[in-house]
């Protein structure tokens, strides 16, 4: 089977003592997502020799806590330089997170919007983080209309965000929380995603799927999310893996 993982964090997987090389060997494709302005250099080194693992770079919403608004223009220039230097294929992850108090909502939105505009200028797809902020993420996506679209990573089940994202040409990626017993709504939303817009991810080292929940996550664990999704969609894991691989190949 061709198994892909559309979103994980290699550095953090290593920090938890997990073997990322073993995970990479079982994947047919993957995306290592960026979190901060300065993490791309080391991540680029870790990905050397793994041509099927693609690099993304960005400043996530948490950066609104660490960077003054007046420093944003220079940070965007540095981000553009790093994307070009390290040949990042995607701009992400970016977005909004109102669960944690990262700066202010206004500054998070400025950070998100400015990076979507940068992605448009560079011709890159984006990886979007959304936590407790579906309405604002939807409004900003509709406002900017990312030229190359992107993916809503770790989709949380918001019907409003799903509708907006699909209308704007986005893909929808489900993570290990799809397997959690309490997430019936998320499993129902999976059925609403067009088959050619579906991706699966781990968000490793977070959101470890059942039956490994409670332990640090790694990309190899995505097989459990495939099994859950296949059951929900009433198809075989083989059929699902072929469809998701086709979607991932087109996306990258």
The domain made up of 4-251 is a member of CATH 3.20.20.140: yes
What is the radius of gyration, based on Cα positions, of the chain? 17
According to DSSP, residue 193 is labeled S
Residues composing the chain = 252
Q: From first to last of its 252 residues, what are the pLDDT tens digits of the chain?
A: 999 999 999 999 999 999 999 999 999 999 999 999 999 999 999 999 999 999 999 999 999 999 999 999 999 999 999 999 999 999 999 999 999 999 999 999 999 999 999 999 999 999 999 999 999 999 999 999 999 999 999 999 999 999 999 999 999 999 999 999 999 999 999 999 999 999 999 999 999 999 999 999 999 999 999 999 999 999 999 999 999 999 999 999
Estimate to the nearest angstrom the gap between the alpha carbon of 119 and the chain centroid.
15
The H or E element spanning position 138 is helix 134-144
Question: The pTM is what?
Answer: 0.97
Can you give the pLDDT at residue 17? 97
Q: Is 56 strand, coil or helix?
A: strand
Helix axes 72-85, 105-122, angle to 10 degrees: 40
User: 100 Cβ partners below 8 Å, 6+ apart?
Assistant: 62, 131
């Amino acid at each position: 089977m061709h198994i892909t993982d559309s979103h994980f964090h290699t550095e953090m997987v290593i920090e938890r003592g997990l073997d990322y090389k073993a995970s990479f060997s079982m994947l047919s494709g993957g995306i290592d997502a960026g979190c901060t302005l300065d993490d791309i250099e080391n991540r680029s080194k870790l990905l050397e020799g793994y041509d099927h693992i693609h690099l993304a770079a960005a400043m996530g919403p948490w950066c609104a806590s660490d960077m003054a608004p007046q420093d944003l223009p220079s940070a965007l220039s540095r981000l553009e330089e790093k994307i070009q230097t390290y040949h990042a294929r995607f701009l992400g992850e970016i977005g909004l997170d109102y669960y944690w108090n990262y700066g202010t909502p206004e500054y998070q939105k400025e950070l998100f919007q400015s990076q979507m505009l940068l992605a448009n200028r560079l011709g890159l797809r984006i990886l979007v983080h959304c936590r407790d902020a579906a309405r604002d993420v939807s409004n900003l996506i509709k406002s900017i209309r990312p030229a190359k679209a992107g993916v809503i990573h770790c989709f949380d089940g918001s019907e409003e965000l799903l509708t907006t994202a699909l209308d704007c040409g986005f893909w929808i990626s489900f993570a290990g929380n799809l397997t959690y017993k309490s997430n019936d709504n998320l499993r129902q939303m999976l059925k609403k995603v067009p088959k050619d817009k579906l991706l699966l991810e781990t968000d490793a080292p977070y959101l470890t799927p059942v039956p490994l929940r409670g332990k640090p996550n790694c990309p190899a664990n995505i097989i459990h999310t495939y099994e859950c999704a296949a059951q929900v969609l009433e198809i075989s894991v083989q059929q699902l893996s072929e469809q998701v691989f086709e979607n991932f190949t087109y996306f990258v």
